[in-house]
Amino acid sequence: MPLFEGVTDVTQPMKIHLIAAARPNFMKIAPLYHALKRQTWAEPIIVHTGQHYDINMSDTFFKDLELPDPNIHLGIGSGSHAEQTGRVMIAYEKVLEKEMPALVVVAGDVNSTMACTIAASKIVYPSSPDRHAGSLRNDNRPIVAHLEAGLRSNDRTMPEEINRIVTDALADILWTPSPDAVENLLTEGVPRAKIMNVGNIMIDSLEMMRKKIECADAINEFGLTKGGYGLITLHRPANVDSPAILSTLCRMLIGASQKTPLVFPIHPRTRKHLDDFGLMDTLRDAKNIILSDPMNYIRFMNLVFNCKFVITDSGGIQEETTYLGIPCLTMRPNTERPVTVDQGTNQLCTIENLQRRIERIVSGGMKNHVVPELWDGHTAGRIVDTIRKLS
């Protein structure tokens, strides 16, 4: 039985909600928004839950992505995991009742991803003769699709892992970024018909903004040369919340900076702990460590494009460095993106082996790597094709 009936034949466009909570989500939905906007049968609507306040979520950011202001803003704000999830569910349920979208697209793995999935999965629209035939499934519910489905770290101490598992269990369509994500879902008993491997949409965003990234001048602003420095980004609690661990990391970074300069845009969470633990002055005094405030995507990626290696605990950077062929040292015991380790440039690191890995890269050592399947900048187009073929 088709999910939609006669999608391409209706006189009214299909109303599609694109859910985003913070900057990484907007990076994922931007290419899809533009691809859908070009279709006469689709009406993409941006829903910003406002879960995170992002210092770089500004007019310039939307301009860079060529996105309009969000059509709907829930204004949820910060809070505990339960508070955020509950507030998003309550607010988005009201939006669903009013808007009655045909398709709800959630992205990534934040609390809003799970909350909107739960709300949309449980809503039942009232029967209405005014609704066009292509807008609903036969049971008067919206379709829920998860963009970036199937990622697993197998570490349930990570809140994101819980969000991923719940979202994938409820969603009707699972758009995966890589074959390993497909295997994860099949192992969990998800029907194969719900899974569609479409590739990594973050690469679409990178390619969409490549010219702006290459034209940015961050590398020259810091007086750096291409391939002549390393880039650091650290913010996860396991790395920055413990005085002992963060102090050891700082010593390691200072030691590594004697081999090559390091640029360290400091996340607000990390800065707070560096100040609280009395470590900020130690980093400032290190001659070859350049400290900066958080950067917008274009300036930061200009540094990524030109660096020798990246030290990180973030998720998306593991993918971008693999695509760009840049060594990535991830300060985590696991990753929900193992394809970046198995096929790409990523290596999972500990405090004990970080120095050795850096020295090997600086001396010219580079692991063999390939760009994973379908990481080609055309993921949004494949997703649009899957939506069009649902009838």
Q: Are 388 and 13 in contact (CB under 8 A)?
A: no
- The residue length of the chain stands at 391
Q: Is 48 a catalytic residue?
A: no
* Beta sheet of 230-233, edge-to-edge order: 289-292, 262-265, 230-233, 309-312, 328-330, 346-348
Identify which of 60, 59, 36 has the alpha carbon closest to the alpha carbon of residue 46.
36
Q: 34, 132, 235, 378: which is the annotated catalytic residue?
A: 235
Q: Which residues are catalytic?
A: 235
